[in-house]
Structures are given as C-alpha cells and as structure tokens.
Structure 1
Amino acid sequence: MDVSGSVPPAREGEPEAPADPLAYEGVWRFTAPAVEESVPQARRAVRELLGRQGVPTQQDLVYSLLLIVSELVTNSVRHAALLSPQVAVEVAIGREWVRVAVEDDHPYRPKALEADFGQTGGRGLLLVREITLEAGGVCDVEHTSTGGKVIWAALPLAGKSPYDGLTAPTG
C-alpha cells in the first residue's frame, strides 16, 4: 500500500475502496542537519503539520507522536551524525492512522533496549516502542536502499489499529 493513503482498486468480491483521499491524507518529508537544534524544530514542524492539515487527533495522540519524533531525531543526532549529516523526517497520514519515520544514513540497526533502572539514558527506543504499543500502534526499524535505516511508528487516529484491513506501510 502506498502510504499516501491511496488504495489499489478493489478485487472482485471485495468492497469498493473510497475514491478520494480525505483532505488531511498525504505524505510530507523534510530534512534537517543532524544537530541538537533539529530536535525541537522537527517536533514543531510535525505539530504544525498535524494542525494545518486538520488531522482528527486527540491531544494524547499528538503528545505521543511528538515524543516519538523527539526520541527518534535525538537518536539520529547522537548516534548517526558522523555518517549521516542529514536526518529525514516523514509524516504519512492515512484515513485511520498517522505514521512518523526518521531516516539516517548510518547502517547500524538499533534494537529497543531493556530497561536498566541504574542508567539515566539509553532508553529512547524502549520508550518509543512502549508508547506505540500503548496507543495500539506498531513500530519497526528497516534498512533503506542506500544502506541507512528508517525507524517508524504508526499510531491509530481514533482507537483503531493502524492496520485494520490494510497492509503495513513501509519506509
């Protein structure tokens, strides 16, 4: 499925898919330098995009998305900047879900760490995973065609699973 919200034509025996995307559906992508200042800028850009598009979200969902964006951009800035001077942020909005993704050119594919209560850091991906699961969403890390990685999280807009009846969007 194309993450822009368009769906392929229905197969024989399947219900007809909606013809036109909703006004808020689409895909937006921007890049920023891999520096600390990009973290609040990315968060602000995503918040403004959601508001400008009129995405039907509850405040809890907006807070969750912004925290996820902050954690993912922070990870790219702190751990990938040497090999990736730019970070890409993508927001894909469908009828029933919002997907945020952060891409960098570093080949290392991180995993969510287990909580170690003796440490004060290193739990960003664990936090992203837990926020995503609590919201009924899904997240993953994938390789890009250029050898980097994209980390994404998709959250439902209105308490539905982001993949009820859909194929998972990919980066």
Structure 2
Amino acid sequence: MPTLDTRGSQRAARRWERETMESRSGAAAFPGAAEAPTHTGVWRFTVAPVDVSVPEVRHAVRDLIARRGAPLSRDAVDGALLIVSELVTNAVRHAALLTPRIGVEVTLDAHWLRLSVEDGHPYRPKALHADPDSQGTGGRGLLLVQATALDAGGDCGVDATATGGKVVWAALPLDRAS
C-alpha cells in the first residue's frame, strides 16, 4: 500500500486516490449495462501509528468524500469523520507496538460508505459489547463508533486478517435521494 504523504491532506488524498483507486465507474462492461455512480471506488493507504496520523486521515477522508461527490448529508460526513478518527486513534494507541503501518480503506459504492482500519495486533476489541454505563475508563471510542453507525442506519464490526491482525470497520448508508 502507498503511504500517506504527510505534507498536506488534500494533496495526499488526491495522490492515494490516483495511485490506488480501484475504479468501478466509467463505461459499462457490456452493452445495456448500467454505469456505476461516479462516486464509487475503493481507496487504500497506510499511515504511521503516531498521533499526527489521526487528523491527517480525517482530513484526507473528508477531502475524498467531497471530491468524489458522495451523496452524504453534512451530519453523515461528520459521523464518518468521527468514526475514522476513533478507529485510527485506537490503532495508534493499542496496536502501535505490533503495527509498523496502519491500513486505511475507504469504500464508496452505490449505497454505502465503508471505513476500515487495519492493524497488526491480534487483540479483537470487546468494547463494542461493553456496558456504556460502566464506570471503567477507556473503551468509549468504539461505543461511539457503534452508536454513530447504528444511528445512521449502518453497522460496524471487527474482522480478523489472514496475517493475525484485525480490521475494524463501519458502514454508513448514502443518502437515499441520490
């Protein structure tokens, strides 16, 4: 995966969009087939497991959503940025020792925005199943991710990777009017 250029979120977002876009838009593969919406695609990049990566990723995702013209309300964009910030923050805080690079993937299809963050740590967080009323500290970030995704009509989860790490993801529906 290419690395995220740390010199500017807009330039970096354009760079990884150009370098790693798996385009699903454009001409149909066969006559009579409908074209995919122009906002669709998959973008992947990696960042170092350091605190400065959190705002860099947030800004890159914000710029990508705007540039691609994804049909999301302002509230949905704010929710997506909150989610990706929490996911990258967790990877930085909890997986840095076992993760030389944090993988970030943004997927836009005709109906969903999916945000995924991959790290090399084998621990699968249980905070998605924690009691939000407990007095313990920490673990609230994933509860916030879950609440934001579910409130928007989406979902979130944790999947194991083939290399022993994990991918924490959230999916948000695109605006239906589009």
Q: What range describes the TM-score normalised by the shorter chain of this pair?
A: 0.7 to 0.9
Cα shift readout 1:77-111 (whole Å, capped 9, x = no counterpart): 00000001211110000111100000001111112
> In 2, distance between residues paired with 1:71 and 1:97?
19
Q: Which structure shows the higher helix fraction?
A: 2
Residue of structure 2 in register with 1:98 after alignment: 113
Residue of structure 1 in register with 2:18 after alignment: none
- Shift of the 114–4 alpha-carbon distance from structure 1 to 2, 3 Å rule, reads farther
> In 1, distance between residues paired with 2:153 and 2:33?
24
| 1:19 matched to 2:27 | no
What secondary structure, in the 3-state scheme, does the structure 2 residue paired with 1:80 have? Answer: helix
Cα shift readout 1:113-152 (whole Å, capped 9, x = no counterpart): 2214634532111111111111000111000111110011
Runs of 4+ in 1 over 4 A off after TM superposition: 3-6
| 1:143 matched to 2:160 | yes
Write the mapping of 1:1-171 to structure 2, written as runs, cut at 5 A: 19-111=34-126, 112=128, 113-116=130-133, 118-158=135-175
Matched positions, count? 148
Q: TM-score, normalised by structure 1?
A: 0.80
Q: TM-score, normalised by structure 2?
A: 0.77
**Higher relative contact order (Cα pairs below 8 Å, separated by 6+ residues):** 1
Superposed CA RMSD in Å reads 2.0
Contact 1:4 1:92 in 2 (8 A): no
In structure 1, the gaps of 5 or more residues are 7-16, 161-171
- Shift of the 4–99 alpha-carbon distance from structure 1 to 2, 3 Å rule, reads farther
> In 1, distance between residues paired with 2:68 and 2:111?
14
> In 2, distance between residues paired with 1:67 and 1:146?
27
Question: Identity over aligned residues, as a percent?
Answer: 56
- Shift of the 63–88 alpha-carbon distance from structure 1 to 2, 3 Å rule, reads same
